A and B are shown apart, each in its own frame.
Chain A
């Protein structure tokens, strides 16, 4: 038998310990973009459940509410019933196609900027820096023996992480119930158990994923990078180390020597080259722009070396671009040695040709088809949303027995009629039957003596009214006759709904 030691022994490489990543702080346009997106995303997440929206006295006043208990989904002026779940399905399909669209156009932008895993990890990393210091201080602290200072810092860090986790889980539950009421009940310990359980689970997952696992989630657990590596093509934007500019990378004495060699040979200095890039060809192959400072590796939140080319660990957050641009400015070389480019443009640039403008890359059949599908579904749903009726009827014919002969020889059929009033106010509707000559309609309560072809039904706001109706018709006639139930709202706004059904008679007439 293989012992555990054999399985985890370094030379066997069955299992690998996580190599901790200590991302260095960096500033630049991409870092600032990430701050902005983080602020907006967190603001939306925490504030949304507290927004109010007046729907009158019969419906909740929370702007966005997923009311699982009553099977209603409220989003501002839109209310969705369970049978309208196709709107939610449509939104999910749009989200899916939207990801395809974004990926084919700008690569893994979702991963780099908007994914909750990225946003919360960023937040956790920031907390870590505030307490432990930047990369080097963090590494020193990691290696330092345990002492009061280290314990205090670790306690503080994990306490804040847990607090963020609890706030994250805490905000989540407010989407599923009236936020102020639930908040009060939660504090008083009277909220339902599921609320506490949800907060507990989300606190744990946020803390573990954002604080402890971070890039492991992206690399090992998330299916999206795998799907994306299949979706990216040679025209998708990726964060690229421009090897044709950077190689051969040199640093220290070696670079010094190379620079001096160039100057001895009367070639333009690097400073001159920065001022006039057209002199690049004159340099030849002596030195590249990369000074091998490893700044790109130091800032990378997933701990990869972007210079190894496109890889699954790269979430295209652009922080290495900021880091490298800072270095390039210091050494007087043009920026964007690392930058967003497509594989195709990279090959063009490497062979000295002019790459296409990035905007022109966006308009290609693939992105246009994705956009068309995405916009088509969106417009279709908007159209359906604008034209949907808020009153509906469904008729269920009683199958056992299909018909009942009454003492006067006539035939009675039974129907369960469900009228949906999807407006947030009580409505009265008129139910009538068409298609069957001399048929009458009555309920168990009204009795046959008051039978007519119409009857009224009150439907409570935002409710389904269910009633058993009887229809009486002549004893002779076709075995199965078509019939239509019509429901008409009896108020100024009106609204009509119909459902087809049948009237059954016995097989043989005597």
Chain B
């Protein structure tokens, strides 16, 4: 490295000196503009050294040196995981009073406390994204066989307490005596109705839902309906929520209202299921989910208006 001395010596520019400043040239020239070998201020050098010292201190205090499976730990014991844990604890503590208030307020009472209700709905929005979107979709619009939770049609009822019960006990969950259980016979498959009778029943259903006119098939179907279906779906085909029988006269179909789909439904019946979330989630989360689903636009008023009892602690 004998040439090193050359670099700073100002010899590169042929040793020429700029008259007005007395500084030597570096030797670079652009369109007649030449670069001078002006020395850097010494404090700049000290700032550089200070940065190195700062870096050394950081290396000792904090995790810094990567190794195969981990990194050096640093004498402060700081870690991003630890930091996250601390932040999560702090957040948990911050939420604790609200969560207590949510746990203590019956779900019908939430509507009396705007702030708490909003908290419940927003919490439900988050939980929905984790547990419910797989079947009901991100916007809760459902799909074939999975109910759209935005509309005003409910199999079991759309007031907030009923939604909560459906969430807690699920649909067709064996071993849960409060689970939602509707049993439509497989009329075609089990031979209760002959295939042409199935078609007549379908014609009648399409008649009451204003999709077809009153033809001969539908008239035959009316008799079949009265004998086989009205016990659950009602004489007027408007359904019965206590047994989860859907309203067949409205514009909403869980599986579809066209002839093929209805034929399939009447022939084989449908047995959709939903988990009993009560065994998987804590009661507050279920309460929040119910509040959120109720807020999507189809929520119904509670049958008997429960007096609202806002808790002071929840005002925070």
Contact = CB atoms under 8 A, between A and B. Distances in A.
Interface in B152-190: 152-153
Contacts of B252: 405-407
B4 interface: yes
B215 to A, nearest CB: 18
A475 interface: yes
A213 B41 CA distance: 11
Contact of B295 (A1, A14, A412, A444): A444
Contact of B39 (A15, A400, A448, A475): A15
B151 A406 contact: yes
Interface in A311-341: none
Contacts of B8: 2, 6-7, 12-14
Nearest to A7: B8
B196 interface: no
Interface in B51-109: none
Contacts of B297: 404, 412, 414, 444, 470
Contacts of A16: 39-42
B112 interface: no
A27 B41 CA distance: 32
A198 interface: no
B45 interface: yes
Interface string B1-25: 1001100111000000000100000
Contacts of A8: 42, 45
B299 A444 contact: yes
A15 B1 contact: no
Task: Name the interface size band of chain B.
Answer: 35 or more
A408 B251 CA distance: 6
Interface string A298-312: 000000000011000
B202 to A, nearest CB: 16
Contacts of A406: 151-153, 251-252
A12 B9 contact: yes
Contacts of A17: 42
Contact of A407 (B43, B45, B251, B299): B251
A510 interface: yes
A220 B37 CA distance: 15
Interface in A378-414: 398-401, 404-409, 412, 414
A468 to B, nearest CB: 8
Secondary structure of the A contact surface, majority rule: loop
A406 B267 CA distance: 27
Contacts of B250: 407-409
A447 B294 CA distance: 12
Interface in A1-49: 1-2, 6-8, 11-18
Interface string B218-259: 000000000000000000000000000001001110000100
B237 to A, nearest CB: 13
A245 to B, nearest CB: 20
B30 interface: no
Contact of A475 (B138, B211, B251, B257): B251
A468 B118 CA distance: 12
Nearest to A404: B150
Given A2-B1, A407-B251, A412-B297, A401 B150 contact: yes
A17 B211 CA distance: 94
A217 B150 CA distance: 64
Contacts of A510: 211, 257
Contacts of B299: 444
Nearest to A14: B8
Nearest to B258: A510
B301 interface: yes
Contacts of B139: 398-401
A14 B141 contact: no
Given A16-B42, A401-B148, A1 B4 contact: yes
A220 B44 contact: yes
Interface in A161-186: none
Nearest to B252: A407
Contacts of A11: 9
Contact of B251 (A398, A405, A444): A405
A17 B1 CA distance: 26
A502 B148 CA distance: 22
Nearest to B114: A445
A412 B8 CA distance: 78
A190 interface: no
Contacts of B141: 400-401, 404
Contacts of B138: 400
Nearest to B211: A510
A474 B139 CA distance: 22
Contacts of B152: 406-407, 448
Nearest to A3: B4
Contact of A18 (B1, B42, B257, B295): B42
Contacts of B151: 404-407, 412
A289 B120 CA distance: 87
Nearest to A414: B297
Given A444-B299, A447-B301, A470-B297, A18 B43 contact: yes
B43 A409 contact: no
A296 B37 CA distance: 27
Contacts of A408: 250-251
15 contacts: A2-B4, A2-B5, A7-B8, A12-B9, A15-B39, A18-B43, A213-B43, A400-B139, A404-B297, A408-B251, A412-B297, A414-B150, A444-B297, A475-B251, A510-B257
The 7 A-B residue pairs with the shortest CB-CB distance, nearest first, are A400-B139, A401-B141, A407-B250, A409-B251, A16-B39, A404-B150, A12-B8
Interface of A: 1-2, 6-8, 11-18, 213, 216, 220, 308-309, 398-401, 404-409, 412, 414, 444, 447-448, 468, 470, 475, 510
